[in-house]
Amino acid sequence: MIDAEFPTWVREARSGRRAGSAAMRPKLPDSPYFGVEIANWSDVTRSLLAAQPLSGETLVNAVLSSWDSIFESRLGSGFHIGREIEPTPQIMGFFLHALIPLELAKGDPGWRADLDSSEKDLVYVPDQSFSIEIKTSSHKDQIFGNRSFGVDNPGRGKKAKDGYYVAVNFEKWSDARGRLPRIRLIRYGWLDHTDWVAQRSQTGQQSSLPAVVANNQLLTIYPREI
């Protein structure tokens, strides 16, 4: 049951519908989901989001403004992304990673971009427990980490992999078919480092999230309705 005292954006955030039965790693005692039935995981996520100083509305506005500004920028002798230049998804993701913290800091100096590899992508200066990792992907509804996310290392020596995440999925140029690509999904939630599952092959370089994790721990805040 959704708590009536949650902010409207938290109540309206939607669980995912992705199908899949990939193996899930067990929750550890320090996880906010430990000992909670899977059917109630989305309620735990809502509670975590309700505690966040960064509201869903502010986050969505920052992501969409950042995306739009990519196409408004000029490079070289006045060349535009989306006209003369079509960067790879990796570069489009890089732009989002760089711009989202700047957009948020412009409205609230409590937020800033990371300064070194020990910090989350988006740092909340007053209380870094609310700092956020940003994941972007041109896949329609999945995000990925490198292989290190899916092994038993919670981030010692580097940034911790437990905590708040924002996941942004955007269209590829081929999806746009003559128009500018758009943001597909913005999801907001919490992931534990054990939620990531590495590729089985030792040569595999990726890790991903089982559907049950992605559906219940990353709630959709954009678009508002499907």
Positive or negative, the Cα torsion across 64, 65, 66, 71? positive
Query: How far is the C-alpha of 116 from the C-alpha of 50, rounded, in Å?
Result: 28
pLDDT in tens, 175-188: 998 899 999 999 99
For the whole model, what pTM was predicted? 0.92
What is the pLDDT, as a whole number, of residue 23?
80
Query: How far is the C-alpha of 46 from the C-alpha of 15, rounded, in Å?
Result: 10
Query: How far is the C-alpha of 161 from the C-alpha of 154, rounded, in Å?
Result: 6
Summary mean pLDDT of the chain: 91
The pair phi, psi for residue 122, each rounded to 5°, is -120, 115
27-222 CATH pick, 3.40.50, 3.40.1000, 3.40.600, 3.40.140: 3.40.600
The 10 Å CB-count burial string (b at 16+, else e) for 104-132 is bbeeeeebbbbeeeebbbbbbeeeeebbb
Domain residue ranges in the chain? 27-222
pLDDT in tens, 108-132: 999 999 999 999 999 999 999 999 9
